[in-house]
A and B are shown apart, each in its own frame.
Chain A
């Protein structure tokens, strides 16, 4: 099960190697080691997307998951996000979906729209 992978924790993009006993090499920080372990056991991603702003013309507000979510649920979560629309003004941190699909992550607004 040992694996070579590129770290996505920060733009540095370290080349990581993880062996069967979950020993990580190639990382520059502890977050990289944790990333490699998660990637083998339970890969997670932050997701960003958009929701429609009803009271503005051709206008979308950006959203993100408040914490990273299981990789396998990305497209199910996007379907939930697609059902949502909001009204301006929007504020960073506004919750549009609480605990999306029971993942423990909220979907929150990331853009100020006046």
Chain B
């Protein structure tokens, strides 16, 4: 069997950043496995601009952003295979992939980084009432059809879900000649960025209906003919008498993204409430030498943060391969009041210069403290004027703050400022 120091599964933003960082940290024997025919992952179809403000201090389109990393991968001589589908991974870090040129290949890796991204929730996930007809499609699939292949998924569109992909696609389809009738969101607030509501909906007079969802799809002749939206109450039940009818040929779904972890599941890596794997401060999963980063760990809102996390995982993997991982404690990090998840879930090196914690709040809140507590003792406290679920929060604890932790568990919570 062939040997590799580091195998990276997924050649998108997280995977390329992990590879580049591992190489810069002295790991030379790296292989990136990418299932698509080109590197870059989802950014290949994200042709709109707004990427790179943190990373490059300029505003790039998705393909421009990814190209900067492809260039580095090539300049650093990092080996990669495209059209390479990973079929199997074992706990002992044997990776099996298939590719038209190589056939089926098994590799023994010293470390693996999972950077497999996420997938879209589909119609089955929310049990849309009504006919099972053609014309119901996820927003990301419609984006690929349009931006990569040049096909418009429909002419009269209703969009369910106001996440950023849904908003971006409302504008894209309008610009390419479709009529987008409305965007419907079951929650009382949008999960997209304010900026995207302004420049994708308001600019083109596309209405956004909050607390409203699809109560029926009508398509008796094989294709969507009509979509009916109804208001929902605070228990998410449809309110009779609030129906709005839209004659359309397509229902686009932008109803959430889920980390893609089937192989991590298979090797029984411990999972968290993000539906990604649990990781420690090196981005290592519960399986030694197996790391995870990017959207397969938790779904990000900004690619710049994916790149950053990929680098951290690449650094962690390089330390593991070189035997430089320092583990001197096991402290569990728990989400407390108002927090849906915190990454990392475990701290293993209390002597680190600093550790960045990433988390999301459960609902929009204003004027609060974010507290880090050890058995009720406050370790750190941060003031935040506004926090919303669609924006990931990052807070850093320094060495002095980490040193205050005495028990085996800390809790991150939201507290009202009185």
Contact = CB atoms under 8 A, between A and B. Distances in A.
B150 A58 contact: yes
Contacts of B149: 58-60
A95 interface: no
Interface residues of A, number: 30
Interface in A22-70: 45-50, 52, 58-60, 62, 64
B63 A112 contact: yes
B127 interface: no
Nearest to B70: A112
Interface string B144-169: 00111111000000000000000000
Contacts of B120: none
Contacts of A74: 175
B47 A6 contact: no
Given A11-B50, A46-B49, A92 B197 contact: no
Tell me what chain B mostly uses at the interface: helix, strand, loop, or mixed: helix
Contacts of A75: 175
Contacts of A64: 47, 49, 61
B47 A11 contact: no
Interface in A8-29: 8-13, 15
A7 B61 CA distance: 19
Nearest to B195: A13
Contacts of A92: 63-64, 67
Interface string B127-156: 000000000000000000011111100000
B148 A11 contact: no
Nearest to A112: B67
B223 to A, nearest CB: 22
Interface string B356-394: 000000000000000000000000000000000000000
B195 A7 contact: yes
Interface string B77-97: 000000000000000000000
Given A15-B194, A62-B63, 16 more contacts: A5-B198, A8-B198, A8-B199, A10-B59, A13-B198, A45-B199, A47-B175, A48-B61, A50-B150, A59-B148, A60-B148, A62-B147, A71-B203, A75-B175, A92-B64, A110-B47
Interface of A: 5-13, 15, 45-50, 52, 58-60, 62, 64, 71, 74-75, 78, 92, 110-112
